[in-house]
């Protein structure tokens, strides 16, 4: 039996996962947003394995996951404004900050940029794992490049055909990736909409949070227009399914559509975000050639949900 088969027979424990990561191997782990494909952020060979495992076509910078603020401060330089934003940690927020010259991160993590994306995830197993490894973990979402992000351990196993060890923490609470904010002097720019609503951040820091123009100099380089894609094609803002289409509903179902898969029958955007990737995985598995998706309001977490849907629907 191979090491992976043994790992898959028994659920992986935190000390076992930490031992793999300390030895330079990759290991998937749960966060509150989606599952991450983790590796020791200070070990270039380990970080390279992330790209190989995902089949990522090019080197996008990776988010560095820390166990606490002390660890994050060894990686990035925090301004006063950055410190204010760090009050959302642990939580679904990634801050793009100047990288510390003595951070001892692999260059592959920052892709040669002078900034680094850092976050402290709000998941007890993730925090326990990072603390047990004792080093920051680089982790993109634990899916093959361009495919749907996983929100359960089972989706990770299926995505990589059982080749990746997974620390199972149950389904992810938020269900969409973290919000990415760049802090540039007095300015806060959202590079990626995510599980923390832009309005909530703006309220907390009492200043506006602008949305990065898609051609801005400080854009998240990983924001490819086609991304998070299921195998089926997507049709957005659909009022009802056409023949042969699977339907993904949102909000109170009109009579006759009660049986459709619904992101949130009550119209709750948090619930919809949590269910988004799992619903797309499930409808994709039905073999339908096209998935019609009901309109989602563009407020609060609707910004992140619509962003992921538009990318999933983009021509590829």
Which residues sit at the interface with ligand TXA, rule CB under 6 A? 31, 33-34, 36, 60-63, 94, 96, 110, 113, 115-117, 121, 139-141, 177-178, 180, 191-192, 220-223
Build a one-symbol-per-residue string for 62-101: x at contacts with Mg ion by CB under 5 A, - elsewhere: ----------------------------------------
C-beta contacts of 3-7 below 8 A and 24+ residues apart: 4/162, 4/163, 4/164, 4/165, 5/162, 7/165
Q: Stretches 24-32, 63-71, 139-147, 193-201: which one binds Mg ion (CB under 5 A)?
A: 139-147
Per the CB < 8 A criterion, the answer to whether 117 and 53 are in contact is no
- Nearest to residue 37, comparing CAs of 24, 26, 21, 48? 26
Residue from 141, 152, 262, 278 touching Mg ion (CB under 5 A): that is 141
Question: Using CB distances below 5 to 8 A depending on partner kind, what does residue 230 bind out of Mg ion, ligand TXA, none?
Answer: none
Q: How far is the CB of 200 from ligand TXA (least distance, A)?
A: 16
Distance CA 100, CA 262 (A): 45
Q: Which is nearer to ligand TXA, 47 or 180 (CB)?
A: 180
Rule CB under 5 A: say whether 31 interacts with Mg ion: no
Which residues, 6 or more positions from 117, have their beta carbon under 8 angstroms from its beta carbon? 61, 62, 63, 64, 94, 95, 96, 180, 220
Q: Which two tokens stand for residue 189?
A: 């720019």
Question: Using CB distances below 5 to 8 A depending on partner kind, what does residue 63 bind out of Mg ion, ligand TXA, none?
Answer: ligand TXA
Which residues, 6 or more positions from 213, have their beta carbon under 8 angstroms from its beta carbon? 219
Q: How far is the CB of 201 from ligand TXA (least distance, A)?
A: 15
Contact set with Mg ion (CB under 5 A): 141
């Amino acid at each position: 039996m191979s090491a992976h088969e043994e790992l898959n027979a028994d659920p992986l424990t935190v000390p076992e996962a930490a031992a793999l990561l300390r030895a330079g191997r990759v290991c998937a782990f749960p966060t509150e947003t989606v599952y991450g494909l983790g590796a020791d952020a200070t070990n270039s060979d380990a970080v390279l394995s992330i790209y190989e495992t995902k089949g990522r076509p090019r080197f996008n910078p990776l988010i560095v996951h820390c166990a606490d603020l002390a660890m994050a401060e060894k990686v990035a330089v925090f301004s006063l404004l950055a410190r204010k934003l760090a009050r959302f940690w642990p939580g679904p927020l990634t801050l793009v900050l100047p990288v510390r010259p003595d951070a001892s991160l692999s260059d592959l993590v920052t892709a040669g940029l002078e900034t680094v994306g850092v976050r402290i995830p709000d998941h007890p197993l993730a925090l326990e794992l990072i603390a047990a490894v004792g080093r920051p973990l680089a982790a993109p979402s634990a899916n093959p490049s361009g495919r749907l992000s996983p929100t359960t351990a089972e989706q990770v196993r299926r995505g990589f055909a059982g080749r990746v060890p997974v620390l199972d923490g149950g389904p992810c609470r938020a269900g969409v990736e973290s919000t990415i904010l760049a802090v540039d002097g007095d300015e806060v720019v959202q590079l990626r909409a995510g599980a923390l609503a832009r309005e909530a951040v703006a309220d907390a820091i009492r200043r506006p949070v602008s949305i990065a123009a898609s051609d801005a100099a400080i854009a998240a380089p990983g924001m490819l227009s086609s991304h998070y894609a299921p195998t089926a094609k997507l049709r957005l803002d659909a009022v009802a399914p056409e023949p042969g289409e699977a339907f993904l509903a949102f909000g109170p179902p009109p009579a006759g559509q009660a049986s459709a898969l619904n992101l949130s029958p009550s119209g709750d955007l948090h619930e919809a975000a949590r269910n988004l990737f799992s619903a797309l995985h499930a409808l994709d598995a039905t073999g339908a050639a096209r998935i019609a998706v009901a309109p989602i309001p563009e407020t609060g977490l609707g910004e992140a949900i619509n962003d992921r849907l538009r990318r999933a629907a983009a021509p590829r």
